[in-house]
Chain A
Amino acid sequence: MAEAWLDRAKADGVSAPTARQPLIETTALTKRYGPVVALDGLDISIPPAAVGLLGANGAGKSTLIKLLLGLIRPTSGSAIMLGLDVTSAATTVRERVGYMPESDCLPGDVTASDFVAHMAEMSGLPHRAARQRANDVLYQVGVDEERYRLIRGFSTGMKQRIKLAQAIVHDPQIVFLDEPTNGMDPQGRDEMLRLINRIHNDLGITVVVSSHLLEDIERVCDHVVMVDRGRLVASGRIDELMRGGGDIVVRVDGDLSAFSAALSARGLAPRIRERDITIPMNGDADQLFDAIRDTVVEMGLPLRELRAGERSLEDVYIQTVGSAPARDGNDANG
């Protein structure tokens, strides 16, 4: 029962987690491989949410997940997950955590049902409960009658579902999904994202999705952690990050070129986009709006629209990291 887990957690010398604490918290977490710095003093705090771990390939996403799972040891710094230190209480933490690796990780000559049940037992579930849950969870991820077939014969999409099933079969509190849509066709990817949505929204499991694809993160996550070259570049709720900081959008009737030239003369950097003019939000917003208003008044133009546009997640990424992330699912991922 849950109490037994808490007892083991206490035996590891750490107090049980409370609802107020973040589920994951790292302090100056650093991982070096010789001269290569994979993670550089990472301080993150992850609440119970659907969290996107966003960064280019090699940014340190997988290293972070492996550190949190206790698969590798940090060079320095610490990480607390579910109120427990991930290094000293690794096995206790892992009873309540699920992991779906990026790479192939399924044995060929075992049936899906046998394997997922075995993985449930490896997380501490009794034999009978493990078999029962394996069948239930496989059904939930869309592997039904096929579960008695050897995994060797499954398609990539089906294997991804089995990987997802083994990650949630023991009812974890947190599940890490490392590039879950990797190598899937558009339809399979769509279904996988829908499944991930359900895991968080319907089941209340905190999902940490690592991806280099913005679309995946935008679709399933409400929180994002952006890493670049081992450093944290942005972290927070996606809607808060996207609020503000976008371009100012102005729409007037009349000669757009003359209006644009007048704005430029005031030191702004207007861009004409179809019927609108957009001005980057650089510097004090009030001064920018005043300058635009004054220009409109001086030229006597009818003002139709003046608003601060929202940033997209892509804008946030570009503005913080400095380069564009991958946009579609077909790029090489290595």
Chain B
Amino acid sequence: MAEAPRQPYGEVYDLGYAHYDGERLGRSHAVRALIIYSIKRGLGIRKRWTSKIIPALLYVAAYSPVLIVAGLLAFLPEGVDFGYADLAGFISTALLIFAAGLAPEMLSDDRRENVLSLYFSRAITRADYLMAKVAAMTLLMATIAFGPPLLLFVAKVLLANSPISYFADHIGDLGRIAAWSALVCIYYTALGLLIAALVDRKGIASAVFIGGLLLITAITNALFDAMSGSLRDFIILVSPLELIDALTSWILNGAPSEMAALRGPVYLIGVAGVVAIAALVMYRRYMTED
């Protein structure tokens, strides 16, 4: 009897490359994808665990004061308050370090490793690329700048004898928190990206950012002490850390420092100046062709 043909128990198919006929979502999707990707990279997601340490520590540093304060307020007698300017003092260092790490993550590697040639040959423009990076960094900074004071506000509302009337009476605080957060986020994003647009190596860019800010602050402080007359009041406009400190005191009703002798809106001009310089540098670095 003839042997029955054996049934193959498995076959290997070369499925090959299939053409894609699904959705193509175009430029707006690409920009959104770049923002999400950049946020993930900034937080160390899908990177080695060492990349996650600094962001995690910064979140702990930024959020733990507000949790402690909220807890304390629950037990302290009414009338004891903790101002938003005090909280801003706690989180400003976290913001500075976060910006130092984030900004080079946003720009430096793509330029040094020449990944830009791949980005610019896809469905986005150079301006889209920059806007996505600015958006990603500003959003990340906002998680540290806006989150803690917002939590403090919520805690104060919930701990008040009459939460609804407290909320109605202090709605202005919310506006001030939002304005302050937005301004510091934009300010640090601009300063950070300004350095990152010029320095290709991430570590060096971070060091230049922190070192540069401390150095300029030291120099302007010395100048302020050495000078007299009304001109010295304007030194604060070129002193990056004192400027943001003065802005914080102005918006969040804190105690101004010795250097902060100008009227509040003048500090806005200082912030606008930094943003303009950063925009100009980024334009020169990215928008002009190879």
Q: What is the interface of chain A, defined by CB distance below 8 A to chain B? A: 1-2, 4-5, 8, 66, 69, 71-73, 90-92, 94-95, 97, 99, 101, 103-111, 114, 118-119, 121-127, 129, 133, 136-137, 140, 166, 168, 170-171, 198, 202-203
| Residues of A contacting B81 in the complex (Cβ-Cβ under 8 angstroms) | none
- B61 on the A face (CB < 8 A): no
- B285 on the A face (CB < 8 A): no
B1-40 CB contacts (< 8 Å) to partner A: 16-27, 29-30, 33-34, 37
A123 touches B117 (CB 8 A): no
- B124 on the A face (CB < 8 A): yes
- B46 on the A face (CB < 8 A): yes
- B289 on the A face (CB < 8 A): yes
A92 to B289, CA, bound (A): 19
Q: What is the interface of chain B, defined by CB distance below 8 A to chain A? A: 16-27, 29-30, 33-34, 37, 46-48, 51, 109-110, 113-115, 117-125, 289-290
| Residues of B contacting A1 in the complex (Cβ-Cβ under 8 angstroms) | 21-24
Known A-B contacts A72-B290, A105-B117, A166-B118; the reply to A95 vs B19 at CB < 8 A is no
A66 touches B125 (CB 8 A): no
A23 to B98, CA, bound (A): 48
B120 touches A203 (CB 8 A): no
A108 to B201, CA, bound (A): 13
Known: A92-B123, A105-B117, A111-B46. 14 other contacts (CB 8 A): A2-B24, A94-B122, A107-B110, A110-B46, A118-B37, A121-B29, A123-B24, A125-B22, A125-B25, A126-B23, A127-B33, A136-B18, A170-B24, A171-B20
A-B contact count (CB 8 A): 129
Known A-B contacts A1-B22, A106-B115; the reply to A123 vs B46 at CB < 8 A is no
A103 touches B117 (CB 8 A): yes
Known A-B contacts A99-B118, A105-B117; the reply to A124 vs B26 at CB < 8 A is yes
Minimum C-beta distance from B24 to chain A (A): 5
20 A-B pairs in the complex with CB atoms less than 8 angstroms apart? A71-B121, A71-B289, A72-B289, A91-B125, A94-B121, A95-B122, A105-B114, A105-B118, A107-B113, A110-B46, A118-B37, A121-B29, A121-B33, A121-B37, A122-B118, A122-B119, A124-B123, A136-B18, A166-B118, A202-B17
Minimum C-beta distance from B103 to chain A (A): 17
Contact residues of B: prevailing secondary structure: loop
A123 touches B122 (CB 8 A): yes
A140 to B16, CA, bound (A): 7
A101 touches B18 (CB 8 A): no
Known A-B contacts A124-B29, A124-B30, A140-B17; the reply to A95 vs B23 at CB < 8 A is no
List the B residue with the shortest CB-CB distance to A108. B113
A91 to B31, CA, bound (A): 12
Minimum C-beta distance from A95 to chain B (A): 5
A231 to B19, CA, bound (A): 36
A112 to B21, CA, bound (A): 23
A272 to B290, CA, bound (A): 52
| Residues of A contacting B23 in the complex (Cβ-Cβ under 8 angstroms) | 1, 4, 125-126, 129
| Residues of A contacting B18 in the complex (Cβ-Cβ under 8 angstroms) | 136
Among B16, B19, B115, B119, find the residue whose CB has the most chain A CB atoms closer than 10 A.
B115
List the A residue with the shortest CB-CB distance to B46. A114
| Residues of B contacting A203 in the complex (Cβ-Cβ under 8 angstroms) | 17, 19
A123 touches B17 (CB 8 A): no
Q: Of A2, A106, A107, A123, which one neighbours B30 at CB under 8 angstroms?
A: A123
A95 touches B24 (CB 8 A): yes
B24 touches A101 (CB 8 A): no
A107 to B113, CA, bound (A): 6
